[in-house]
Amino acid sequence: MPTPPSPGYALVTGASSGIGADIAREYARRGKPLVLTARRVERLEALAAELSAQVPCVVIATDLADPAAPAKLFAETQARGLFVDTLVNNAGYGVPGRYLSADWKTHADSLQVLLTSVAHLTHLYLPAMEAAGRGRILNVASLAGLVPPTAGHTLYGATKAWLIRFSETLDQESRPRGVHVTALCPGMTYTEFHDVNGMREKVSKLPKGIWLSSADVARLGVDAVESGRTRLVTGRANKLIAGLSKYLPDRLARALLASKSKDFRDAD
């Protein structure tokens, strides 16, 4: 295999806003060329225009709810001769309400974005990283994957728990071959996420001390994967919540979280 170009590109999914856009900014600040992908091409182009003075930026519009999208994205980067040595699986969203309040197509699309596309993209890009003996995969999970379940947003916490375990297992497999895999687990973060799922009014009532900016989360996440940390929970308050969830008796932890869940979960 020919020696891959250096430095390689960082491919960031869901790069049009929020944590994804700020991860792109953080990598640009560090001099890392970028492949930016999401559905909203106008936003991607605006971000590329912002960052192109710092690093080369390639925009590829992709809807990861389409099962064919990962293979098409991979084929496009291959056709352009781009060696992706950093994969950021960030794209995602929550479906509010109880499980039966949404139709199956809505749930199927969310699973495709949150779970299947992550596994597929990783399977496509990891071989070249291992062959080159270097690579980084940053999977944006959530504190929701580490705490007891609550009613509402039924699939979100479950898929994030899967993503954390997937990341940890993959890191053990690939670290000896020079590839670090990190599960980034933010708690409440100032992004459009809660506007999209209609929860902004509810979550705005939560204490200000548990929130972080998406720029801070992005910086911490990039630091974590570059230094080889397998899992990172961002923010002291979130670390405390994750710790209590782990060490409190399961029944008590579920009861405590359920009593507060109405502040950040729509279960209707």
Active-site residues, by number, are 156
List, in order, residues 6 or more apart from 20 with CB less than 8 Å away: 12, 13, 14, 38, 88, 90, 91, 140
Residue with tokens 């900014």: 25
CA dist 194 and 81 (Å) reads 37
Beta strands in the chain (DSSP E): 9-13, 34-37, 57-59, 84-89, 135-140, 179-185, 189-190, 212-213, 231-233
Asked if 164 and 120 count as a contact pair (C-beta separation under 8 A), the reply is no
Collapsed DSSP state (helix, strand, coil) of residue 65: coil
Asked if 38 and 13 count as a contact pair (C-beta separation under 8 A), the reply is yes
The encoded tokens of residue 62 equal 């992709």
183: left (phi over 0), alpha (psi -120 to 50) or beta: beta
CA dist 188 and 170 (Å) reads 26
The encoded tokens of residue 75 equal 């084929």
Q: Which residues of 163-186 are buried (b: 16+ CB within 10 A; e: fewer)?
A: bbebbeebbeebeeeebbbbbbbb
CA dist 15 and 38 (Å) reads 6
